[in-house]
Structure 1
Amino acid sequence: MNLSGKRIILTGAAGGIGYRVALLLAEKGARLALVGRNASRVEEICAEINQRGGLAVPVILDLSGEGAAEQAMAAALQSLGGIDVLVNNAGIMDFTLFERQDPKRIGQMIGVNVIAPMLLVRAVLPHLLKQDGGRIVNIGSAFGSIGFPHFATYCASKFAMRGFSEALRRELVDTQVGVTYVSPRATKTPLNDDVTTRMLEETKTSMDAPEYVAAQIVQAIERDCKEHFIGQPESFFARLNGMFPRLVDGGLLKNTRIARKYAQSVNK
């Protein structure tokens, strides 16, 4: 896909990865509707892009709110005149013992990470089908292929998005609407709090720079990829986990025990 002139909705634009994806898309000539609830930050990013000669408009929304998907779609249509690509990037994460996780937080995470992006797809899809072209891009995680201990709810949400993306791609096979699922591994962003970061460092978990991940996401869109997994050995273990999960159980045992001592200090 040539991104020049493409009209794109990007959620989670205020985050570490989303901000850099927005800049790269703008550099490619895309016209952007940046969705987020942090009004000052989203507006700041739009101003930066517009000052560089790009086009970005802020759409200030809490995606977990009722009717948010339709509002985002309406705002994008009004400001951009149409939609060619939806990038579902927004997400939240907890690192904690599951028995300590607040039930409300479980519901919130499933709402933001699963229900909101699905409803956005549902709002955008009729428009893409009518114009006979477009792409839906769902940003997942290595945690959507491998169940990591102490990230149970986050893993559940990302497994759901991977399954949704796969099913939707197959459902749309006879249309001109494509589906791309991108699976980053751990990334150095504020999504990881201090405890999580210390745990990742002690377990020697590789963490990519957000600039690198953003470049991989944009490249996957340009290449019309169906799936794109970022980083080794995580991509290998994701495939191994699908075939031989007990081998991965053993491989994670040492890091599981290290992570537990950090998770026990967290109460969410």
Structure 2
Amino acid sequence: MKAAESRVLLTGAGGGIGEAVANVLVGSGASVLLAGRSPARLAAQMRGLQQRLPAARVEWHAADLQQASSITALARQASTWNCNVVIHCAGVAEFGRFDEAEPERMAQVLSTNLWAPMVLTQSLLPHLRGLAQAQVICVGSVLGAMGLPGFSVYCASKFGLRGFAQALRRELADTRVLVQYLGPRSTRTKFNSAQVEDYNQATGTRMDAPARVAQELLRMLETRTVERFLGFPEKLGVRVNGLAPVLLDSAFKTHRASLRARPQTSPQTINEAMKHAR
């Protein structure tokens, strides 16, 4: 589908990759419905796009993807707006030793990165099926195809998203709805914590600019490529991991060594903190 023919619902529009994607799509002639949590931020983003590109066709809708009712409202708005492309770009990060992961945070990561795209896609399918052509693009990660120490929870969400995209693409193969998966490698955004930045430096992990990811997504939209991973040696790692994952198990010694345990807080420190809290 040509960008100029697309009416795109873009979740996570205010994020580092999401903002870059919005810029590239609008600059290529697409109509874009920005979706995110902050009305003020979305409104400012829309104004900024319209100031740079007076002919920009942009609207926004605030939605909390942790809430089913909010997802339903977003799907209703997108259907009324007649979207023909859905780009799942919203996501939350999680990094660290798995034995220190908090259950509440695990639930949030899985909900935002996996459950929300599934529910939103399901809500929009009746509308999308009725169109001459429609696309659903899941922005995942290289870590949706290759597990990395320190990213157990995040990998679980992105492996799930990739599996969802693959299965649904095959389920809808005899319809006019195409489901795609884009797997960027580490990207230079505020998505990365200081701990992730240190980890990337220690392990020699290469990073891409958000603009590169956005250009690859635009290319994916127009060429209808079903799955694409970004970066080398990441693409090679994905292929090897898919064929013989055990071969890579010994390749992550540096990654394991770079995972630092959180400093333990002594009872005395906790007591002092509680005094100040009162």
Q: TM-score, normalised by structure 2?
A: 0.91
Quote the Cα distance in structure 1 between the aligned partners of 2:263 and 2:221: 39
Could you give the per-residue CA deviations for residues 230-257 of structure 1, whole angstroms, max 9, x where no partner exists? 1111011011012222221111122221
What residue number does 1:45 align with? Answer: 45
Divergent runs of 4+, >3 A:
263-267
Q: 1:73 aligns with which of 75, 99, 103?
A: 75
SS at match of 1:125: helix
SS at match of 1:13: coil
Q: Could you tell me whether the CA contact under 8 Å between 1:96 and 1:266 is conserved in 2?
A: no
1:189-200 mapped onto 2 (5 Å cutoff): 189-200=189-200
Q: Could you tell me whether the CA contact under 8 Å between 1:17 and 1:189 is conserved in 2?
A: yes
Q: Could you tell me whether the CA contact under 8 Å between 1:136 and 1:180 is conserved in 2?
A: yes
Quote the Cα distance in structure 2 between the aligned partners of 1:88 and 1:181: 10
1:10 partnered with 2:10: yes
What residue number does 1:27 align with? Answer: 27
Q: 1:72 to 1:229 in 2, by over 3 A?
A: same
1:42-121 mapped onto 2 (5 Å cutoff): 42-51=42-51, 52=53, 53-78=55-80, 80=81, 82-121=82-121
1:1-268 mapped onto 2 (5 Å cutoff): 1-51=1-51, 52=53, 53-78=55-80, 80=81, 82-258=82-258, 260-261=259-260, 264=262
User: What is the Cα deviation at residue 199 of structure 1?
Assistant: 1.2
Q: CA RMSD in A?
A: 1.5
Q: TM-score, normalised by structure 1?
A: 0.94
Could you give the per-residue CA deviations for residues 120-167 of structure 1, whole angstroms, max 9, x where no partner exists? 110111111112420000011011111111111100000001100000
For 2:73, give the aligned amino acid: Q
For 1:125, give the aligned amino acid: L
Could you give the per-residue CA deviations for residues 145-200 of structure 1, whole angstroms, max 9, x where no partner exists? 11111111100000001100000110111111111100000001111011111111
Q: Percent of counterpart pairs with the same letter?
A: 35
Q: What stretches of structure 2 of length at least 5 have no aligned partner? A: 266-278
| CA radius of gyration, larger in | 2
Q: 1:97 to 1:23 in 2, by over 3 A?
A: same
User: Which stretch has the larger CA shift, 228-237 or 67-76?
Assistant: 67-76
Quote the Cα distance in structure 1 between the aligned partners of 2:61 and 2:250: 45
Q: Could you tell me whether the CA contact under 8 Å between 1:97 and 1:266 is conserved in 2?
A: no
Quote the Cα distance in structure 1 between the aligned partners of 2:6 and 2:243: 39
User: What is the Cα deviation at residue 264 of structure 1?
Assistant: 3.7
For 2:176, give the aligned amino acid: Q
User: What is the Cα deviation at residue 6 of structure 1?
Assistant: 1.7
Quote the Cα distance in structure 1 between the aligned partners of 2:170 and 2:79: 27
Quote the Cα distance in structure 1 between the aligned partners of 2:112 and 2:233: 28
For 2:240, give the aligned amino acid: L
Quote the Cα distance in structure 2 between the aligned partners of 1:104 and 1:142: 25
Size of the aligned set, in residue pairs, is: 263
For 2:56, give the aligned amino acid: G
Quote the Cα distance in structure 1 between the aligned partners of 2:89 and 2:189: 13
Could you give the per-residue CA deviations for residues 200-228 of structure 1, whole angstroms, max 9, x where no partner exists? 11211001111111111111111111001
Q: 1:176 to 1:66 in 2, by over 3 A?
A: closer
Quote the Cα distance in structure 2 between the aligned partners of 1:65 and 1:266: 34
For 1:50, give the aligned amino acid: Q
Q: What stretches of structure 1 of length at least 5 have no aligned partner? A: none
SS at match of 2:95: coil
Could you give the per-residue CA deviations for residues 61-119 of structure 1, whole angstroms, max 9, x where no partner exists? 111112222211222234x3x01000001000111111211111111111000000001
User: What is the Cα deviation at residue 34 of structure 1?
Assistant: 0.6
Quote the Cα distance in structure 1 between the aligned partners of 2:263 and 2:5: 49
For 2:119, give the aligned amino acid: L
User: What is the Cα deviation at residue 266 of structure 1?
Assistant: 10
User: Which stretch has the larger CA shift, 126-135 or 205-214?
Assistant: 126-135
